[in-house]
A and B are shown apart, each in its own frame.
Chain A
Amino acid sequence: MFRLLRPFEYLEPGSVSEAVEMLTRHGERARIFAGGTDLVISMKKRQIVPDYLIAIGHLSELDFLEAEPDGTLRMGPLVTHARIAASPLVRQRFPMLATACNEVGTPQVRNMGTIGGNLCKAGPSQDTPPVLVSLEAKLHLVGPRGTRTVPMDQFCTGPFCTVLAQDELVVEIEIPPLPPRSAGCYKWITKITATDETLAGAGVVVVLKEDGSFEDVRIGLGSVAPMAIRARKAEALLRGTWPEAAQIAEAAQIASEEAEPRSRAAYRRHMVKVLVNEGVTEMHRQVAASMQEAAQ
């Protein structure tokens, strides 16, 4: 690894459309640059040697974190992990996202690294994708051919691969509101110490019907497949059923079979089972308790 960077030209677009123009003009020779916590390292390692950096860090149109009246959360790609983790809006409406953002890297990396950069990196062991997958988030992309919207579970196509075209830019992450009688959490285990890579992670959203049965269960798994995936068979087993420990354990087992871990497969599968079981059980209890409270 080299400690310094090779020369490049530093471009500062005045708007998103100018950034797209620059991407189109310079093609593979250009890279979008924001937080730098990943790209600068790749550049030091000479894995990526761009001729142009298109610095978007100053574009205020990409730096927002706001809620719509209906509860939809909209985030610009420049929002840092630290800001998401500390945001009262996120902590109140989507605490699981705050939890996951607080697990990314170290405090300094969270102060610098952006959610957009994190998602475009598409590392299989990242913490935010399993949460965003279970929240059914959508990414808004802009390119020379216009805009398009991609659901989070279709954004990544493999390890470090996404559907983002070379001349496209992520301009917004949209999270739909959670229905009434719902709760979500992020459960994870790291490899060794707390700042290590995540060994297995599960984003769990539980929605109950008024009668207390499962209306919906959404399970996003991270670090146990080429990209974050939904454990759809496990979800289907629970949907519409009465919450019972044996049934939840069975669903957790199925989720662990839906995982496709490459290394330490048995351990990762086991941990998927543990995390999903814990997540669904705890979220069910939480929603049931708040329903009981509301009824009194």
Chain B
Amino acid sequence: MKTVATFVVNGHPHEIAVEPHQLLIEVLRDHLGLTGTKHSCGVGNCGACTVLVDGIPKLACLTVAREVRDKPILTIEGLAKDGVLHPLQQAFVDYGAIQCGYCTPGMILTAKALLDGNPDPTEHEVREALAGNICRCTGYVKIVEAVLAAAEVMRKGGN
């Protein structure tokens, strides 16, 4: 039975009628058209569907939508402010940390959660934090460089 629930995505509340069996990724992609969140492995191995729920990286493909009603959800679309990229997004562009781009939204959101809690991480801490986000293109070196560069920008007050 469909029930109407409120999903607070990127700061905006949306009243959406959802079935009990619908996953968060269906709400984001199919109901809200937020296709930045990628549906990849479907079993929690790859991290491509990572979004932040209450600031914590979670997998939209394994989350039953109803479980996160009324909670703040951040997707990649909510990161840029007034057309200006978030320092992490800008660093991923500047450092060539994107190739096919499929893992990028999940990578950036996981990295954001890390930097929100730890503004000055070591390379090891970055690698540990990103251990649940798989990239098949880059070999991770540029991704880690980009996160460390973004951390520096953010410490200096950029965003």
Contacts and interface: CB of A to CB of B under 8 A. Distances in A.
A1 B43 contact: yes
B59 to A, nearest CB: 5
Contacts of A41: 43-44, 62
A275 interface: no
Contact of A5 (B23, B39, B110): B23
Question: Among B19, B44, B47, which residue has the most Cβ atoms of chain A within 10 A?
Answer: B44
A106 B47 CA distance: 9
What is the size category of the interface that chain A forms with chain B?
20 to 34
Interface stretch (A108-116, A122-130, A219-227, A285-293): A108-116
A107 B23 contact: no
B154 interface: no
A264 interface: no
Interface stretch (A32-40, A90-98, A146-154): A32-40
A53 interface: yes
B132 A112 contact: no
B62 A112 contact: yes
Interface string A42-82: 00100000000101010000000000000000000000001
Interface string B104-145: 000000100000000000000000110110000000000000
A9 B64 CA distance: 12
A108 B44 contact: yes
B44 A109 contact: yes
Interface string B17-53: 0011111001000000000000100111101001000
Tell me if B's interface is mostly helix, strand, loop or mixed. loop
A106 B129 CA distance: 9
B44 A37 contact: yes
Interface of B: 1, 19-23, 26, 39, 42-45, 47, 50, 56-59, 61-64, 66-67, 110, 128-129, 131-132
B21 to A, nearest CB: 4
Nearest to A110: B132
Contacts of B56: 82, 111
Nearest to A11: B20
A145 interface: no
A5 B42 CA distance: 11
What 7 A-B pairs have minimum CB-CB distances, sorted nearest first? A106-B132, A10-B20, A5-B21, A108-B132, A40-B62, A107-B132, A7-B21
Nearest to B45: A106
Contacts of A262: none
A40 B22 CA distance: 11
Contact of A106 (B20, B67, B131): B131
A108 B47 contact: yes
Contacts of A7: 19-21
Contact of B62 (A1, A6, A37, A107): A37
A8 interface: yes
Nearest to B56: A111
Given A44-B43, A57-B67, A4 B132 contact: no
B131 A107 contact: yes
A105 interface: yes
A194 interface: yes
A53 B59 contact: no
Given A107-B57, A111-B56, A195 B131 contact: yes
A191 interface: no
A3 B59 CA distance: 14
A112 B39 contact: no
A106 B59 CA distance: 11
Given A3-B39, A108-B50, A53 B131 contact: no
A10 B19 CA distance: 9
Contacts of B44: 37, 41, 105-106, 108-109
A107 B110 contact: yes
Contacts of B50: 108
